[in-house]
Amino acid sequence: MEISREFVQELEEIVGPTYVHTDPVDLQCYAFDATFEEWRPDVVVRPATTEEVARVLRLCHEARVPVIPRGMGSGLAGGTVPSPNGGLVLSLTRMNRILEIDEVNMTVTAEAGVITADLQAEVERRGLFYPPDPSSIKHSTIGGNIACNAGGPRCLKYGVTKDYVMGVKAVLADGRVFSAGGKPIKYVTGYDLPALLTGSEGTLAVVTEALLRLTVKPTVVRTATVVFHDLDLASQAINKVLWAGFVPATLELMDDTTIHTVEEYLHIGLPLDAAALLIVESDGRDEKVVDDEMRGMVEIFRAAGASEVRVAKDEKEREALWKGRRSVSPSLARRRPHKLGEDISLPRSAIPEAIRRIKGVAAKYGLPIAIFGHAGDGNLHPNILFDRRNAEEWARVQQAMAEIFAIALELGGTLTGEHGVGIMKRPFVPQALDPVAVEAMWRIKRALDPHNILNPGKVFPAEKAL
Amino acid sequence: MTMVQPQVQNVVQELAARISHDDVLRCIRCGLCAYTCPTYRVEECESMAPRGRLALVRAVIEGKLELSPRFAEKFYDCVLCAACTSACPSGTKADAMLLEARHVLFDAGLVPEPVRGLLERLETRHNISGEENAGRLVWCSNMEHAPTGLGRSQAETVYFVGCVGSLFPMSFSIPQAFSQTLDLAGVEYALLGGEEWCCGYPAFISGDVELAREMAAHNLEAVRQAGARQVVVTCPSCYHVFTHVYPELLGEEALAGLKVLHATELLADLLESGALRPAAVPMRVTYHDPCDLGRKSKVFQPPRRVLQAIPGLELVEMASTGANSLCCGGGGNVESSAPALVESMAGRRLAEALDTGAELIVTACQQCKRTLSSAARKRRLRLRTVDVVELVWQALEQTHSGGSR
């Protein structure tokens, strides 16, 4: 779209000329996220305060300029990529101050642009703990985590981002600022607006500050790897562990394709004949309790048919056990130039069947699909490996992706567990959600953002489909 | 425009020929490199992140972006610390591509003005300062005892001083300390004086590969003329260029029969064998890994071995250390075009050093020393930075003068 010189000048007056970018070189750097969606914005603005955000939004609201709020742009669904119409990228990375750590009430108040790992490090210095741990922990921001309701390996035990958002300061599309929520743990005065904004992918308002709940940092961690030659046995074993009352801090799964890919890259002796490799962790503050929990889980896994269980004796062994899981990404990148990492979410019981069916899709389309993910909560990451420059291959990938989504929905699951809908999953939303529910969402959207300037073209299926 | 177009077209082809599309595509755009990138962490701006810079290369190769001075700027404001490559989960060799882009930009005449000035000095004077190269031994002119290497034209070992130690008064103490240490240990060495040229690294990373090659060839010839079989350097960039770039510029055989050592490698052996006996230095210090020595040349342990050989000294590591060490900001010739950026980068490193509770930062690089010291002064911080060879000499001098405790 056309952005006038006057509009740019007004932006420069608000945030200062240093923080308004219109050179194609700068715009190109904000044209993408961690997907391969790519559209250049018309202007990038980097405000430093809520007040500046408010003034920028007021301007955009009046001029009907689309606004794409952005943290570190590590999203996996295209949520921070401009639409083909361009617009204004609102980068919040300069808003990176931690405003308060309340040790008595165990909360932290931080601006939206604080990097999650930095926030964690800061609260951990005081013995506190912010559990959500998306794998992008070092390259995503609190604002981005809230926008996508980010999860991570720890969420079976500790919950996802929404379980920690107690309050927000946010800016509406028309530039009005509001605060919602607060430090009381029980808070039911009115609608839960912090919860509404969490997972809204920047379509309802721009969160500029968050009040987050903290817990006490676990000081003891025990790690084990468990090998199964049969997916169903693995699934049954996980259920037995949970029924026994254990809540592992981590329960990660790698399927055979993933195991093979990592082993080809690292040669660390992963079991090539295994159907599933689990990484299990127990954590807490009492060594005996944590050891007992790990021992109890190991006994159940062994009795339930695990062919091998290894418990790390020290930090060095723990690192060695994690090495395979941490190397999934580089090993996949070495196999093919592109990967499409999905994050379907399933009822836990459906995991074995979902993996079997996805393997069928891989065979049908002749594409390697590595599956790994969070076995405890049912969130799986099937990663299709391919070369996008091959048009015919890319067409097969798209068909395979559609089938994977269909499988998730047939088995009672959903499209995405932690990445969000963004651009990439919006065509599948009508199949995934009740039409009346979509209509209700759209009404909320229109009530808060009547001109549809906040991250248009995301989450909702095309308007004509509404 | 019609005049410029063919040239631009050539550059795009050059870029595509020298940086393969496959290599750029290896970047999965996750953004993890931004977290480790010292320029990004100061500016918080995608065009200052390795991912952003690689996206620019890709956009040019794919025909989506035209070359411009702004494009060039984005490559010359990278400190070339290689933290991105070290952190990359998909094995993208970002540092190599960012450097290659500078080579292409140089060939296209898109070098920023301050860098052009540096290249002119290198070409005419054979050093970075622009002084007469014959004055390269000025650092020893006011020493009480002239270093023995001064009068020696032939020796097993050449001490290659480097431009900064030779010509910048603030850094004279480094070659002064190291030459005296060599004399005390009885190591026979020669100094090349005016026959020592800039190592070639500043030219190489500015994009002028031919000038770097010329300098490399001259220096190796000068070393051979001295009959040396060993070159010892106090500058990490000289070390990196001798060990990693000379073979690339002149072929693997260029270094045949020649051993290149960083001062800390030699000192660690001399200290551990008892040939040098430093007095106690009862201090808590932290060690700052220079990028060219640590991450880029994999010399992590020798400087630490040196520090551990000094009695009474306690070494505490910073939060980012070794292969994950944070650049002081002094790399990549960024200083000449963006001094404020460098100052802010140094500030972040100083904050990490302060967190350790150390009384002193020790490094093994005159440039890191200069960058960190000047940023500390600006912040009125009472935290000094010294080169490890200075600290060693200080401790040896105490033993020598009988003043040891």
Structural domains in chain B, sorted by start = 5-110 (1.10.1060.10), 129-268 (3.40.50.1860), 270-400 (3.40.50.1860)
**Digit-coded pLDDT (tens) for A114-148:** 999 999 999 999 999 999 999 899 999 999 999 99
Q: Is the model's pLDDT at B148 over the cut of 90?
A: yes
Cβ contact B370:B110 at 8 Å? no
Of A21, A25, A74, the CB nearest to B31: A74
Strands (E), A243-378: 250-255, 276-284, 308-311, 338-341, 369-374
Tell me what the mean pLDDT of segment A325-351 comes to.
89
Let me know if B277 is exposed, middle or buried by CB neighbors in 10 A (0-12, 13-18, 19+): middle
Number of cross-chain residue pairs from A and B with Cβ atoms under 8 Å apart: 89
Distance between CA B35 and CA B39 in Å, rounded?
10
Q: In Å, how far is A344's CA from the nearest CA of chain B?
A: 19
Tell me what the mean pLDDT of segment A41-50 comes to.
98
Confidence tier at B399 by pLDDT (50, 70, 90): confident
Half-sphere exposure of B395 (CA within 13 A, CB side): 25
Confidence tier at A464 by pLDDT (50, 70, 90): low
**Digit-coded pLDDT (tens) for B226-244:** 999 999 999 999 999 999 9
**Digit-coded pLDDT (tens) for A203-248:** 999 999 999 999 999 999 999 999 999 999 999 999 999 999 999 9
Q: In Å, how far is B61's CA from the nearest CA of chain A?
A: 13
Distance between CA A191 and CA A447 in Å, rounded?
15
Q: Which residues of A touch B89 (CB under 8 A)?
A: 329-330, 333
Q: Is the model's pLDDT at A198 over the cut of 50?
A: yes
Q: Which residues of B touch A28 (CB under 8 A)?
A: 55-56, 59, 64-65
**Digit-coded pLDDT (tens) for B244-287:** 999 999 999 999 999 999 999 999 999 999 999 999 999 999 99
Confidence tier at B8 by pLDDT (50, 70, 90): low
Distance between CA B10 and CA B8 in Å, rounded?
5
Confidence tier at B7 by pLDDT (50, 70, 90): low
Strands (E), A128-286: 128-129, 165-171, 177-181, 206-213, 215-216, 220-228, 250-255, 276-284
The pLDDT of residue B403: 44
Is pTM, for the whole model, over 0.90? yes
Which pair of tokens denotes residue B44? 């918080």
Question: In this prediction, what percent of chain B has a pLDDT beyond 70?
Answer: 97
Using the CB atoms, write b or e for B174-199: b if 16+ within 10 Å.
bbbbbbbbbbbbebebbbbbebbbbb
Q: Which residue has the tokens 């599933």?
A: A276
- pLDDT, greater one: A372 or A331: A372
* Average pLDDT value over all residues in chain A: 95
Q: Is the model's pLDDT at B170 over the cut of 50?
A: yes
Q: Which residues pair with A372 in a beta bridge?
A: A254, A381
* Average pLDDT value over all residues in chain B: 94
Q: In Å, how far is B89's CA from the nearest CA of chain A?
A: 5
Q: Which residues pair with B349 in a beta bridge?
A: none
**Digit-coded pLDDT (tens) for B199-225:** 999 999 999 999 999 999 999 999 999
Tell me what the mean pLDDT of segment A383-411 comes to.
96
Q: Which residues pair with B231 in a beta bridge?
A: B158, B260
The pLDDT of residue A331: 87
| Cβ contact, residue pair B29, A33, below 8 Å | yes
| Cβ contact, residue pair A46, B44, below 8 Å | yes
Distance between CA B353 and CA A450 in Å, rounded?
51
Q: Which residues of B touch A (CB under 8 A)?
A: 22, 25-26, 28-32, 34-35, 44-47, 49, 52, 55-56, 59, 64-66, 68, 70-71, 74, 88-91
Q: Is the model's pLDDT at B11 over the cut of 90?
A: no
**Digit-coded pLDDT (tens) for A429-461:** 999 999 999 999 999 999 999 999 999 999 998
The pLDDT of residue B16: 85
The pLDDT of residue B10: 76
Q: Is the model's pLDDT at A82 over the cut of 90?
A: yes
The pLDDT of residue B402: 53
The pLDDT of residue B375: 97
| Cβ contact, residue pair A333, B28, below 8 Å | yes
Which pair of tokens denotes residue B28? 């999965």
Using the CB atoms, write b or e for B86-106: b if 16+ within 10 Å.
bbbbbebbbbebbbbbbbbbb
- What secondary structure does DSSP assign to A177-198, as a single string? EEEEE-S-SS--SS--HHHHHT
Q: Is the model's pLDDT at B5 over the cut of 80?
A: no
Question: Which residue of chain B has the CA closest to A95?
Answer: B44
Q: ipTM for the complex?
A: 0.93
| Cβ contact, residue pair A74, B30, below 8 Å | yes
Distance between CA A2 and CA A4 in Å, rounded?
6
Residue to substitute from A26, A28, A80, A389, interface B, most B β-carbons within 10 A: A28
Distance between CA A453 and CA A255 in Å, rounded?
42
Q: Is the model's pLDDT at B56 over the cut of 90?
A: yes
Q: Is the model's pLDDT at A272 over the cut of 60?
A: yes
Question: In this prediction, what percent of chain A has a pLDDT beyond 70?
Answer: 99
